[in-house]
Amino acid sequence: MADITGPSIPTTRYPMWRWAALWRELFGLAWQRMPGMVVFYFAANIVVLGGVAGTALALRWTIDATIHGDAGSAALAAVLAALAYAVNVVLADLVATPIPLIDQPAILGLLPRVLSDLAAIETLDHLERSDVLDRVTIVRRSPWMIMAGFWSSVGAVFALAQLGVTLLLLGTVSPWLLLLLAVAAVPLWCDRRGSRAVTEAELATAETFRLQQHLFELSTTPAAGKEIRVAGSAAEIVRLQAQAWQQTMNGRARASAVGAAWKFGGWLVFTAGFAAGLAVVVDGTANGAGTVGDLVMAVTVAATLRNTLHGAVTRTASVAQVSRFVEPLFWMRDHLAADRAHRTGTLVAPPVLTEGITFHDVGHTYAGTDRRALDGISVHLPAGSVVAVVGEYGSGKTTLVKVLAKFYRPDSGRVTVDGVDLADLETRAWRARISAAFQDFGRFATTFGQNVGLGDLPHLDDRERVAAAVREADADRVLRRLPDGHDTLLGRDVGGLELSEGQWQKTALARASMRPEPLLFILDEPTASLDAPSEQEIFQRHMARARELGARTGAVSVIVSHRFSTVTGADLILVLDKGRLVEAGPHDELIALGGRYADLYGIQADAYAATS
C-alpha cells in the first residue's frame, strides 16, 4: 500500500504586528458587545497582580517588625498581608468568569467575518486544491480557538507581568537573583520551540486526517453502506481508515515527543538556576547582608516562582498552539488580498448580447499539475446561440464553463464578451446575469421553495417566480409529493425530508431557471442522475428556453453533456480532447466530417442500440 500521508505543508511565520492587529480586532468585538465584563476582567487581573507584591512586602514587614519588637507595626503588616492574600485568592478564582460571557457575543461577531472572507474569494481554487483546503478546513472551525488564543495572550501578558514583579521582589534581596529572569526565559523559549513542532505536524497530517474522517463517514452513512456491503469492501475501508488514523497519530505523536523533550530541557535549566539563586540568598543572610524578613520573603516568593513561571509558560504555550488556527486565517486573508489584487473588473455586464462570447487562445492549468486543462482554446460563441460541449471525461468541458463563470482565471489568453475582456467585467455584475446548473449541484438544508429561490436571491420567497421555475425544470411531480409543498424542509441532517438523487437534480435545475433574463445559461451535465425519458423531456424544455433567451437577450446557452443524442439540436458543438478544441460545428457537419465527434457519436449510438 502506498503512503497516504500526503505532502507536507510548509508553515509561514507571521510578524508580530499581524498578531497585534488581530488581537486589537478581537478586543474591539469584545468591547462592543460586553464592555462591563471586559472592564471587570482587566481590573481583576490588575488587582491580582498588585496583591502578589502586596502580600510579599507585607510579609517581610511583619517578620522584621516582629524581630525588632514593634508589635503595632507587626500587627498592621500582618493584617495587610492577610487582606492582600484574601483578595488575591478570591479574585484569582473569579478572574476568568467573564470570559465565557464575553466569548459568545464576540464569536457571533467574528464568525461572519471569517465566513465572509472565505466567501469573498471569487475563484474556486481555495476549495479544490488539497493544500489550500487543509487551511480552509482549519479556518472554518477556528473562531472559538482564535478567541481562546486572544484570552491566552492577555493572560500571558498578566502572567509575565506577575513573573516580572516576582523577580523584582527577589532582586530587592540580592541583585544576583535578577539573573533568574534569564534562566526563566529558557523554558519559555523551549516551550515555544516544542509547540512549533506540534503545529507543523498538525498541518502536515491535515490531509490524512481528513481522509480518515471521510473513510469513517463512508462506513457509517446509508448512501455508501449499500455499495460497501454488496462489494464486501467494509473490511478494506476499515483497514484504510485505521491506517490513515495511525499515520496521522504517529506523525503527531512524534511531534509531541519532540515538544516534550524541548520542555523538559527548559525546566532542567531553570531548576539548576533556581537552586543556585536560593544558595546565594541563604549565604547573604548568614553573612548579615540581609534581614530575616528578606530571607523569608525570598523563600516564600521563590516557592511560588515555579507556579508563576508555569502560568506564564502555559499561557504562552496556549498562544503558540493557537497559531495553528490563527496562521491559516492570516494565510486566507492574504489569499483574499491577492485575489482582490488580481481583480480588474469594474464594468457592468451589457443589457443584451449582440456579438457573443469569444475565446482567444485560452489556456488553464490546475495548481500542482503540469497538464493543461485547457490548451489554446480559440472559438466564437455567437449571441443567441445554443452551444454544446462534448468530450471524454477529463477533456476540459467543466473547466471551460467555469472559466466562463469566472471561477478560474485563464493562465493565458482571454475571453471577451461583446468585445470586452471578461476580466474587465465586475464579477458580481457578470454572475448576476448567469443562470447555471452544475453536475456537482448543491443540496441546501432549507425548504424546497428556498432551495429553488436561491437561484435568484432577491426573489428568494417569490412563490410565483419559484413556481414558474419548478414548471420549467419539470419538477412539478417532485413538488406534489412533498408533504408541505414549498415549505417542506429538506435534508436529513436537519430533520428534513431526504430527496432522491434525481429529485435533488430537478430541484437544482429549477434553481437554474429562476433568473428570467440571463446572458449566459450554463447546463453542466444537468441530467446525469435522471432516467432517459426525463432527460429528453428536460433537454427539450431547456432547449426551448435557450432559444427564447437567445431571442430576447442574445443569451449564449452552453450545454455540457455526455449523451450526444441530447445535443444534436445545438447550433454549435465543441469537441474537446485533452484540453484542446479538436472540432467545432453543427451536428450534421461534424458527422459528415467523420472525425472525433462522428466516432464518439457512433460508439454511443451503437451502445444504445445494443441495450434497447
SS3 content of the chain, % helix, strand, coil (to 5): 65, 10, 20
DSSP string, 61-86: HHHHHHHTT-HHHHHHHHHHHHHHHH
Q: Which three cell numbers stand for residue 271?
A: 531548576
Evaluate whether 559 touches 386 at the Cβ level (below 8 Å). Answer: yes
Q: Judge residue 531's burial from the number of C-beta atoms within 10 Å of its C-beta, 0-12 exposed, 13-18 middle, 19 or more buried.
A: exposed
pLDDT band per the 50, 70, 90 thresholds, residue 529 = low
pLDDT for the residue 94:
80
pLDDT for the residue 8:
39
Average pLDDT (451-460) is: 92
Q: What is the DSSP letter of 500?
A: P
Q: How far apart are CA 5 and CA 128, in angstroms?
A: 18
C-beta neighbour count of 15 within 10 angstroms: 9
pLDDT band per the 50, 70, 90 thresholds, residue 575 = very high
Name the helix (H) or strand (E) containing 374.
Answer: strand 372-382
Average pLDDT (427-454) is: 91
Average pLDDT (11-36) is: 84
Evaluate whether 377 touches 384 at the Cβ level (below 8 Å). Answer: no
Q: Which three cell numbers stand for residue 169?
A: 521582589
User: How far, in Å, are 170, 429, 523, 561, 563 from residue 568 at the CA level?
Assistant: 90, 32, 15, 11, 10
Q: How far apart are CA 446 and CA 21, in angstroms?
A: 37
User: How far, in Å, are 122, 391, 554 from residue 551 at the CA level?
Assistant: 30, 28, 6
Q: How far apart are CA 314 and CA 380, in angstroms?
A: 64
Among residues 106, 129, 136, which one has the least CA distance to residue 34? 106
Kindly give, in sequence order, each residue whose CB lies less than 8 Å from that of residue 452, ignoring residues fewer than 6 positions away. Answer: 466, 469, 470, 475, 507, 510, 511, 514
Q: Taking the CA atoms of the chain, what radius of gyration do you get in angstroms?
A: 34
Handedness of CA 587, 591, 596, 601 (dihedral sign): positive
Q: Which three cell numbers stand for residue 182?
A: 534569564
Tens digits of per-residue pLDDT, 261-311?
Answer: 888 888 888 888 877 877 777 777 677 766 777 777 777 776 677 667 777
Higher pLDDT residue, 593 or 56? 593
Evaluate whether 244 touches 3 at the Cβ level (below 8 Å). Answer: no
Q: Judge residue 367's burial from the number of C-beta atoms within 10 Å of its C-beta, 0-12 exposed, 13-18 middle, 19 or more buried.
A: exposed
Per-residue pLDDT at 21 exceeds 50: yes
Tens digits of per-residue pLDDT, 195-238?
Answer: 888 888 888 888 888 888 888 888 887 777 777 777 778 888 88
pLDDT for the residue 151:
86
Average pLDDT (333-348) is: 82
C-beta neighbour count of 75 within 10 angstroms: 13
Per-residue pLDDT at 316 exceeds 80: no
Q: How far apart are CA 537 and CA 37, in angstroms?
A: 63
Per-residue pLDDT at 612 exceeds 60: no
Evaluate whether 524 touches 561 at the Cβ level (below 8 Å). Answer: no
What are the structural domains of the chain?
Answer: 99-341 (1.20.1560.10), 442-516 (no CATH)
Average pLDDT (586-602) is: 91
C-beta neighbour count of 471 within 10 angstroms: 14
Per-residue pLDDT at 31 exceeds 70: yes
Evaluate whether 590 touches 389 at the Cβ level (below 8 Å). Answer: no
Q: Give the rounded percent of residues in the chain with a pLDDT score beyond 70.
A: 93
Q: How far apart are CA 104 and CA 115, in angstroms?
A: 17
Residue located via cell numbers 457537419: 589
Q: How far apart are CA 502 and CA 473, in angstroms?
A: 12
Q: Which three cell numbers stand for residue 460?
A: 428568494
Q: What is the DSSP letter of 487?
A: G
* pLDDT mean across residues, the chain: 83
pLDDT for the residue 10:
46
Among residues 273, 264, 334, which one has the least CA distance to residue 305? 273
pLDDT for the residue 482:
92
Tens digits of per-residue pLDDT, 356-379?
Answer: 999 999 999 987 788 899 999 999
Q: Which three cell numbers stand for residue 330?
A: 492570516
